[in-house]
Every structure is written in C-alpha cells, then in structure tokens.
Structure 1
C-alpha cells in the first residue's frame, strides 16, 4: 500500500516553494506521480460593480491573473524537473469564491492533497481558510505544510493524536503508507478515560496493535493536562520527541461559508510547527 497519485495546491505566495518541496519529498518516498494545481482566479465582485467597469479593464485584469497562474505553474514544473519526479502542472481558471471547491474536486482524484497553512501576517493569495475548507470537504487525506515550511525530513518520526474518534481512525489508516516507512511512531492520548469512549482499559493500545499488524513500530503515551489545552499539549510533545509529522483527525464543518473548527483542529491550523496529515 502506497500513495501513487499526489496533488499539491499552488499559489503565488512566498510559502508555496516550501509546500512544493515537501510534496516532492513525499512523492519521492512513495514513488508517486505529483500534480501541481495552479489556480488563476479572478476576484469576484457584485454585478452592479462589475457591470460598470470598462470591458478593457476587465480584460487586462483577467490577463494579469492568467499570467500569474502560468508563472506559478512554470515554477512548479521547473522544481519537478530538477527533482526528477514524474508529474505535471495543471492550470485552472475561475473565481476566488470557488477556489476551495475547485481544489477539493481535484483532490478527489488523488490519494492525498498537499496544502499550505495560511500565513497570518501576509496578504492571502487566495480566499482565507482555503486549506481548512478543502480538508473538511474533499473527502481525501490532506497534508498541511506550515508556512515556515517542513524540516529536513518528513515522516521519519511521527506522532498520532489519538482520541478514538471516527476522524482520527480514518487519519491513521490514511497515513499508513507513511507510518509503515517511519522510524518511530508515537500514539499520544491526551486526557483519556480508561474504559470509556472506546479507549479501552489501556488507552491507545488497541490502535497500536492494529498498526503493529501492519508492520509499524509503535510507542503509546498518555498524558493528563488541566492548565493548558489539548492542542498546546500536542505541540509541546511534538517538540519534545523531535517529530516531523503529526497525524490527526480534522473536526469541524462549514456554516454559511464560515469554517467552524474543533478546538484542537483550530489550534493546529493556527500554530502548527510540523506538517500535519489530517482526515475527516
């Protein structure tokens, strides 16, 4: 079992190069084909405004958007050629309000989609919360790369945030191609209740046994915290163990175009320090 068809979302932000680099590392490890999806999206505007703008102005703006999209695709193709990996860029045009839906649609034809964390201080290259929207709607696992980029390794030392939930279970199985190649995998249960909520008498032991039967070497850890939240606890333990990847379920939903995330999921999208493989 391995990923054989990967998709990475491309944009003209300064963080895109790090995202592409992480996608190439994963493609090399999995011997996978890598597609770069570049979006040339125009800014949507009310009809009463767009209808008053000269056609010439709209055409110039459209040409500029297309040119930027083509430049993004070209940079990806050049990076791919340097890596020697098979793959290609794909340029799609549309409106900014449809960007997340388009990425999610293309992600459904891939084993995994690579996305980027939104940089808080930078102007968004696309509508805000694109990564969150795609994770919640694509139906495919997503690797979200921090805006600071990934480290020198990816998937060598992995932590699984385990809470027995459906989303976490799916994330673990979606991550199996990476977990089977990892040198160390830690299952972390934060504030588990033995014998309650499917944790069993020894929280984490059942999912560890499942992974062991797939040839994964697993260590189980449990921790109880009160003064800091679960998300911060996970981030702290990631640093303590020197992990280069977190696997977790994504919790949330969309409400009238507003993304509503669960607490730990929100913390990771805001403060992730390593790439996070999420499934929902």
Structure 2
C-alpha cells in the first residue's frame, strides 16, 4: 500500500506541475500551437532518463524501489501527457492545419527522444565521475592490474584461480566485482508495483548470494595480500555492464566468464569488449586448471591482432609451444612480424571452409591441444553479430578454452 500511496502523491504533484506549466506556456506563446504540451513532455522525458539512469541498481545513487516508483511512475506519469498531445494533434487536423499537426508529431517525438537521451547521457557522466580518480591504465601488462567480473558463486573459485595465474608480479593489483544481476534483475517501476512478493523472494535470494560471495571473497583477499598482491572486491548491483566499463578504466585486463547459453551474459560481454576498451580474457563457464602451456594465436594482418599478441607477451614468453593459426590462403601472409621475435612459433594454416571462421579457428586450436587462444576482436555491432554471426560472436557463444581478445569497432 505504501508504494501505491507514493505513486498517488507523485501523480498529484506531477499533474499540478503540468497544469501550471501548460497555462504559463499558453500565456507566453498563445493557444495556436501546443508548445506547452511539447515542453512538458520534453522535461518529463529528460527527468525520467536522468533519474532512472542515476538511481538504477548499478548507478551512483541507487535508491529503493518505492522512491523510483514515486518519481518515475508517479511524478513523471502525472506530469507528462500523451493523451493531450494526441488530442491537440487531432484538433489541428480538424482545423485544417495538417502542416502544424505533422510538426507537432515530429517535434514531440524527436525532441522527447533527444531529451531522454540527454538525461541518460548526463546521468552516465555523473555516475562515472567518482571513478575518474582511478586513472586510465592504457599502458602496462596483464600482470599489473586485472579486473575480475564475478556473477555466479559457483564460478568464483575458478575465476580467481585464473586471476592468480595472471598475477606474475608481486606488485600487481586484482579488483573483483561481485555483480548480483543474475540474482536481482532490475525491475521496471511498474513491475515493482505489481510484483511485491516476487521482489521479496529475489531479496531473500540476494541475501543468500551476498553471504556466499562475501565469505569467499574476504578469504581470497586475505590470501592474496599475504603473498604481496593488492586485492580487493566491490559489490555491484544490476547487470554490471556499466560498472565493468567504468572500473575497467583503471585495469589493464578484464577477466570475464563466458557463458554462451545465456543471452544476457553475452550482451554483458559485448558491452565490456566495446565500452571498456581493454584486453579481455574470456574464461569458459566451469573452466578449471592452468592455461598458457600451449598458446594459439589467430593471425591476420591487423594492428589489433598485433596488440593482442603484445598484451599476451608475458604468457607467450613462458609457453611451451606457440601456434600461429591462419585461415585462408598462404598468399594472405603468415607473420614475419617483430611481435613474434624470440617465440617458438609453429605455423598452422588451413583453407577457409564456409563462412564460419570462428568455429574453424576453435577446431584448429583444439586439435593442436591449445589451452589459450589469442586474437583480435572485430565487431560490426550486436544486432549484425546476432543475425549474421562473426568470429567474435562465435567465441562468445562456443569457446571452450580461454580466449584473450583485443577489440576494435567497425
């Protein structure tokens, strides 16, 4: 009942504010064109975009569900008015002013979309400001600083074991993000109102999740610090995509779990690859054991492949074998590149079979016994990747060995 009361109060406040601003605009601009309704909807769109982003579960000022419902359902719902916009457009048409009716539609839709986008962007900038002090880790090596994203308690020991393997230097830093998105999915305000029992159930599951994560991560921090590593962990609410991108600015390498059967997990991985602009090590769900004894490099004549190789140099220098995989004709050029100097490389080439180069590379790596694949990542955007596939999308869905990626956008 409290939630409904808050929504009712917010709706009353929004309606009064709408009436006042609408009358003020009529007095200022006259009644011939509905500038008041356009302005009201623009302001409401900005507020919901700004407040909704700033107070989301992974936002800077996360607030209780009831507060979000009060503002986003109550105040914004009472303040903005699609029905008035529709009626005023119809009246313009009936008065023989089709040009103004079309202008009302175009202005309302375009400006409201721009306004909600502006609110979102401003809130995102505000949300990330507290992380600016971390700095930008554009140089260094994978043993300097690693960010580990943790979603499932069962995967935590394996992911932390991989992080420890990467930490070759005692002064390295590991940051773990404990992300509760799979447990506490972010509900829309209207869903929060209608599913109170479901919210209570999720809250109970989240408490169990937090307790399990906290005990494991506190123990891990103590162990890492005892051997000279800088380690700490941060609890993150929501799906974690923004937090990974933001905290990733202060890390050289992102360590993420690959769970190809989970569409939401793949979306988080794509966002991390593109937004964080850091090398990413994908670790298959359930991976256990060491890696890096036999490393395969997916070669193409591309600067981001070379950068991926440079990123992996600490691992490549310790590998027993380094396999350079190339799909295509030899005329495309196998490497004689300085990045390979001093490495015990073995060249493996194969003619392209069909369009699924990603699956072919995985098959070649498996047959050669590789336990790590190094490659550049080239994305045409999530929609095109979903519809038409691509090497990166294949890795997100099907990789069954760790994959170190260096991303660039189309």
Aligned residue for 1:143, secondary structure, equals strand
Structure 1 position 140, deviation (Å): 0.6
Q: Tell me the equivalent position of 1:250.
A: 377
2:206 is equivalent to residue 206 of structure 1: no
Distance, in Å, in 1 between the alignment partners of 2:235 and 2:327 is 42
The whole-number CA distance in structure 2 between the counterparts of 1:179 and 1:100 is 30
Q: Structure 2 vs 1, CA of residues 49 and 269 (structure 1 numbering), >3 Å: closer, same or farther?
A: closer
Equivalence for 2:402: 275
Q: Is the 8 A contact 2:177 2:234 kept in 1?
A: yes
Structure-to-structure mapping, 1:119-158, within 5 angstroms: 120=261, 128-150=266-288, 152-158=289-295
Q: Answer yes or no: is the 8 Å Cα contact 1:158–1:185 preserved in 2.
A: yes
Unaligned 5+ residue runs, structure 2?
1-139
Instruction: From 322, 326, 329, give the equivalent of 1:189.
Output: 326
Compute the TM-score of the two structures, normalised by the length of structure 1. 0.79
Rg: which structure is higher? 2
1:1-280 → structure 2 map (5 Å cutoff):
2=141, 3-27=143-167, 29-31=168-170, 32-41=172-181, 42-51=184-193, 61-62=202-203, 65=206, 68-82=209-223, 84-85=226-227, 86-96=229-239, 99-118=240-259, 120=261, 128-150=266-288, 152-192=289-329, 194=331, 199=332, 203-207=333-337, 209-212=338-341, 215-226=342-353, 229-254=356-381, 263-280=390-407
Paired with 1:259 and 1:44, the residues of 2 have a C-alpha distance of: 23
Is this contact kept in 2: 1:251–1:261, CA < 8 A? no
Q: 1:125-180: per-residue Cα shift (whole Å, max 9, x none)? A: x7553223212221111111011304x33212111101112432321222222222
TM-score w.r.t. length of structure 2: 0.56
Question: Residue 82 of structure 1: CA displacement?
Answer: 4.6
Q: Name the structure where strand makes up a greater proportion of residues.
A: 1
Deviation at 1:278, TM superposition (A): 0.6
Cα offset for 1:243? Answer: 1.2
Counterpart of 1:248 in 2: which secondary structure?
A: strand
Change (3 A) 1:133 1:192: farther
Query: Cα distance, 1:58 vs. partner?
Result: 5.6
Contact 1:136 1:250 in 2 (8 A): no
Please tell me whether the aligned partners of residues 146 and 251 of structure 2 are also in contact (alpha carbons under 8 angstroms): yes
- Relative to structure 1, is the Cα distance of residues 26 and 73 closer, same or farther in structure 2, using a 3 angstrom cutoff? farther
CA–CA separation in structure 2 for the residues paired with 1:240 and 1:53: 50
Deviation for aligned residue 1:211:
2.0
* Aligned residue pairs, count: 262
CA distance in 2: counterparts of 1:160 and 1:249, whole angstroms:
9
Gaps of 5+ in 1: none
Bigger helix share: 2
Query: Shift in Å at residue 49 of structure 1?
Result: 2.7
